[in-house]
Structure 1
Amino acid sequence: MSTDRNIVLFDLFGVIARHQRPGALKKMAARCHAPTDTFTTAYWACRPPYDAGRQSAPEYWTAVLRRLSLSVDADTIEELRLTDIDSWSRVDDQMIAYVQSLREVAEVALLSNIPSDHADAFLAAQPWLHNLDHVAFSGKIKVAKPTPAAFHHCIVAMRAAPTDFLFVDDREENVRAALATGMNGHLFTDRDELAAVIDTWSTTQRPRGNDTLPETDSACLT
């Protein structure tokens, strides 16, 4: 049942923030004296428990280095950790301005897959985050998208109904997971298309249920 609220729930990377800085993985691989492809495979294969708050940064980087059959030392781990955080630090200033402007017509929240130490750095560097109605980082809430519990966290934390939400993400599997919880969803491609979708969604009565993600249209409204 809806509580008749409009809540836009944003993903962070690929929507408001930029994806990883080009060349970052190559730089970290060079620090480890490892081929970039081999390092990249280890970096992502070990990532899920770190993103979901089940591993600390030292535990994650120890797993990466051991997967590469490399020695583990505190200085290397800290250098890799800081380089990694910096590689995910870029934002889209126009999207930030747009997100802030939306608070005139809707509540605005964030649900991002990001390790806990990355989240701390982002919160320190981006004061606009503190003005949102709710911020949920996977490393802090101990669950990552597309696991349903990540979306349910936001529903419970905001004391809202699933249908009150429009979830915006650039990954189809995450949008589909949000739809499965009863939220509305939009697969993000650019700001202008998103603005049109939100304008329609926030000003029209939305029928409930039977949500699907059309193959020929990135927008999904219910």
Structure 2
Amino acid sequence: MSTDRRIVLFDLYGVIARYQRPGALAKMAARCNAPADVFAEAYWACRQPYDAGRWSASEYWTAVLRWLSRTADTDTVEELRRTDIDSWSRVDRRMVGYARSLRDVAEVALLSNMPSDHADAFRAAHPWLRDLDHVAFSGKINAAKPDPAAFCHCVVAMRAAPADFLFVDDRDENVRAAQAIGMNGHVFTGLDELAATVDTWLPAGGRTS
């Protein structure tokens, strides 16, 4: 059931923000004196509970370092944490502008898989987030995509119906998860394709072009 609202719900990385900074994993691997491929395996294998708010930054990095048979001293953990946060800090300014412009014709929200400490740093560095109608980071809501709970959080928080949302993500599995709870979905491949989809989805009087 729809309340006849139009809410464009954006993923962050791969849509509005850029992927991890090139060379960041190799830099962190070197700090740990570990092969880059082994470090990357540990980095991603331990990530889900950190993204979902079940582990703190200290718990996450301790797990990564133990995987690598390295000592999790405070200085190493903090250096890795700061390097990691910086590696995910870049945005696509054109996409930021487009998302903000949509607020003239629709509500605009964000749902991103991001640890709690990353979210705090990202908010501080990107004041444009305050222009959005709702912002949800997985580490703050204790649910990470494609968990249905992440999408349901946005539905409840915005007092909307699933059908009111157009969810935009670059990963097909996340779009399918959103559609499974009743949201509309779009797999992001570029701004032009997204703008055409949004224009079609909006009521005729509220289109952006």
What is the TM-score with the length of structure 2 in the denominator? 0.97
What residue is the counterpart of 2:24 in the other structure?
Answer: 24
Whole-Å separation in 1 of the counterparts to 2:192 and 2:85: 29
What residue is the counterpart of 1:115 in the other structure?
Answer: 115
Whole-Å separation in 2 of the counterparts to 1:203 and 1:32: 53
Whole-Å separation in 2 of the counterparts to 1:131 and 1:56: 28
Whole-Å separation in 2 of the counterparts to 1:3 and 1:107: 13
Q: Which amino acid aligns with 2:189?
A: T
Equivalent residues in 2 for 1:1-222, closer than 5 Å: 1-203=1-203
1:87-128 Cα deviation digits (max 9, x unpaired): 000000000000000001100000000000000000000001
The runs of at least 4 consecutive aligned structure 1 residues that moved more than 3 Å come to: none
Cα distance, 1:72 vs structure 2: 1.2
What residue is the counterpart of 1:219 in the other structure?
Answer: none
Whole-Å separation in 1 of the counterparts to 2:72 and 2:193: 47
Whole-Å separation in 1 of the counterparts to 2:153 and 2:71: 38
Q: Which amino acid aligns with 1:121?
A: A
Cα distance, 1:62 vs structure 2: 0.1
Whole-Å separation in 2 of the counterparts to 1:116 and 1:93: 23
Whole-Å separation in 2 of the counterparts to 1:84 and 1:194: 29
Whole-Å separation in 1 of the counterparts to 2:132 and 2:193: 22
Cα distance, 1:203 vs structure 2: 2.2
Cα distance, 1:131 vs structure 2: 1.2
SS of equivalent residue, structure 2 residue 202:
helix
Q: Which amino acid aligns with 1:18?
A: R
Whole-Å separation in 1 of the counterparts to 2:112 and 2:23: 23
Whole-Å separation in 1 of the counterparts to 2:19 and 2:163: 29
1:5-42 Cα deviation digits (max 9, x unpaired): 00000000000000000100000000000000000000
Q: Which runs of 5+ in 2 are unaligned?
A: 205-209
Q: Which amino acid aligns with 2:202?
A: S
1:127-184 Cα deviation digits (max 9, x unpaired): 0101100000000000000000000000000000000000000001000000000000
SS of equivalent residue, structure 1 residue 152:
helix
Q: Which amino acid aligns with 2:2?
A: S
Q: Which amino acid aligns with 2:101?
A: S
Give aligned pairs, total: 205
Q: Which amino acid aligns with 2:180?
A: A
Q: Which amino acid aligns with 2:76?
A: T
Whole-Å separation in 2 of the counterparts to 1:187 and 1:203: 21
Q: Which amino acid aligns with 1:197?
A: T
What is the TM-score with the length of structure 1 in the denominator? 0.91
What residue is the counterpart of 2:207 in the other structure?
Answer: none
Whole-Å separation in 1 of the counterparts to 2:25 and 2:127: 27
